[in-house]
Amino acid sequence: MKAAPAIIWDLPTRVFHWLLVISFALAWITFDDNRYLFAHVYAGYLFLSLLVFRFVWGAVGTHYARFRTFAYDWTSVTDYLKGLLSGKASRHIGHNPVGGWAIFIMLTLGLLIGITGLLVLGGEEGHGPLRGLISFEIGTGSKEFHEVFAWIMLVIVIVHVFGVIGESIVHRENLIWSMLTGRKEDVLEATQVRGHGLLGVLLLTIVFVSALFYFRGYLIETTDSPFQPFRGPSLPDNATWRSECGDCHLAFHPTLLPKRSWQLMLNTLDDHFGEQLEYDVETLAELKPFLIENAAESGLTEAAHKVNRSIASDQTPLRITKTKYWVKKHIGINDEYWDNEKIASKTNCEACHLDAEEGTFEDSGMRLPNIKK
Ligand code: HEC
Ligand code: HEC
């Protein structure tokens, strides 16, 4: 049998590999800024779905894609490493022992990242398939794990890339190119696998169409009706509160301050930030329970939890904009914005938050207005 270029990596495996790279990179680019949470979550869904596919393909796929062809024991790993050090590591058509281990570790870490991501999304953000099933605390707790796993994964990815480059040099073959074309030079034709081109194209098409579907809101949004990808829960509402407390400014939802703050505010109506407020007994009888029952302690939104946690127990702030959480979230906003007439005041929440009226203050509802025009 002659030695010629042969297909080693079928198309589904290659599509999986490069889409995994793309989704991992997208997740890193978008993790830091809550405004990109929607894209980060997309990257996560894609990442997890790809892993699920890979586990199936590892069982039923073509020869080199199957897990059992690269499930090496530890001795093979040490032998391979010794070989590398003495400059005569044996060439493997499929994954070498170290590469095989790296892949199993990455697949496992990937699953852990995906699962903890779903926990954060469900618990802390109140979205995704686990919404309503897990507590806020579990959600925030999972975030630490999510991040640690992601960092470990990044380290392994870097090791993997160096491994691939190293092996390419040692054996004088471009392994990155192989993962693109699926082919390797100088292998026995008998080792060639089926390309499964149709399945590969199908995978690509599914990912492309679902991405279009997921992001369709951005494609059809207009300046008058901006797209808000995640909608918060529908919060308790009250007509009296809306009309009385929304008279001079946005009716700030009760979830934005703790009970004691609303209590104090209602007790000091004669000096409400320089204004004198007067309500009859009936109005007060409606305002008071509405404000108290739905205060930050209710934990109805992410902001409620976080505002509440950021206030020391011996403090009773009357301003949302003076709470530690609010300050932390807005400290990065340039003075240019605060000085601009479109915003004018920190309390003008609706200038930047599409859902200020609803009181949900979702990450994805933030849109800094265009102050250049
Ligand atoms: C007559 C006008 C008026 C009415 C009615 C009014 N407020 Fe205010 N409120 C103000 C002014 C003025 C400020 C200070 C705004 C600023 O600094 O930008 C303020 C500030 C606030 C703030 C602090 C905002 C922050 O975080 O800096 C809260 C909370 C608030 N009002 C709640 C209420 C509630 C609850 C009611 C209904 C019971 C209410 N207001 C009714 C005039 C009013
Ligand atoms: C000048 C625009 C602007 C104004 C005005 C503004 N915000 Fe924000 N707000 C932002 C931006 C931008 C962020 C996102 C910061 C980040 O990326 O973490 C944010 C974040 C938040 C968050 C955190 C959301 C989350 O889940 O991470 C809350 C809650 C919030 N704002 C509440 C308010 C309230 C209440 C007001 C009015 C009293 C207000 N904001 C006024 C721009 C604004």
Q: Are residues 298 and 343 in the same domain?
A: yes
Q: Are residues 37 and 112 in the same domain?
A: yes
> Which amino acid is present at 99?
G
- B/e letters for 56-92, b = 16+ CB within 10 Å, e = fewer, are ebbeebbebbbbebbebeeebbeebeeebeeeebeeb
Q: Are residues 208 and 257 in the same domain?
A: no
Tell me if 361 is assigned to some domain.
Answer: yes
For the CA of 125, the closest atom of ligand 2 is 26
The residues near 77 (Cβ < 8 Å, ≥ 6 apart) are 97, 98, 101
How many domains is the chain partitioned into structurally? 2
Distance CA 56, CA 347 (A): 53
357 alpha carbon – ligand 2 mean position (Å): 13
Full domain range(s) for residue 179: 3-220
373, pLDDT greater than 80 = no
Q: Are residues 68 and 214 in the same domain?
A: yes
Residue nearest to atom 34 of ligand 2 (CA): 349
Handedness of CA 109, 363, 134, 257 (dihedral sign): positive
Q: Are residues 255 and 205 in the same domain?
A: no
Q: Are residues 45 and 157 in the same domain?
A: yes
322 alpha carbon – ligand 1 mean position (Å): 13
Phi-psi region of 172 (alpha: psi -120 to 50; beta: other; left: phi over 0): left
Which residue ranges have their beta carbon within 6 Å of ligand 2? 33-35, 256, 302-303, 320-321, 329-330, 333, 337, 343, 346-349, 351-353, 361, 363, 366, 368
End-to-end, the C-alpha distance of the chain in Å comes to 71
Tell me if 123 is assigned to some domain.
Answer: yes
- Comparing 28-32, 222-226, 259-263, the range with the smallest average pLDDT is 222-226
CATH of the domain at 99: 1.20.950.20
- Residue 205 token pair: 């098409």
356 alpha carbon – ligand 1 mean position (Å): 15
List, for residues 187-219, the tens digit of each pLDDT value: 877 678 999 999 999 999 999 999 999 999 999
Q: Are residues 210 and 257 in the same domain?
A: no
> Which amino acid is present at 253?
H
Instruction: Specify the pTM.
Output: 0.89
Q: Are residues 269 and 155 in the same domain?
A: no
Q: Are residues 35 and 120 in the same domain?
A: yes
Percent of residues, the chain, with pLDDT higher than 70: 98
- Residue 44 token pair: 């996560």
List, for residues 317-326, the tens digit of each pLDDT value: 999 999 999 9
Q: What are phi and psi of 265, to 5 degrees?
A: -60, -40
Tell me if 370 is assigned to some domain.
Answer: no
Q: Are residues 165 and 57 in the same domain?
A: yes
Q: Are residues 214 and 265 in the same domain?
A: no
Q: Are residues 211 and 243 in the same domain?
A: no
Tell me if 291 is assigned to some domain.
Answer: yes
Of the bound ligands, which one is closest to the alpha carbon of residue 268? Answer: 1
Distance CA 118, CA 254 (A): 28
Given 220, 253, 285, the domain boundary residue is 220
- Comparing 20-24, 190-194, 259-263, 278-282, the range with the smallest average pLDDT is 190-194
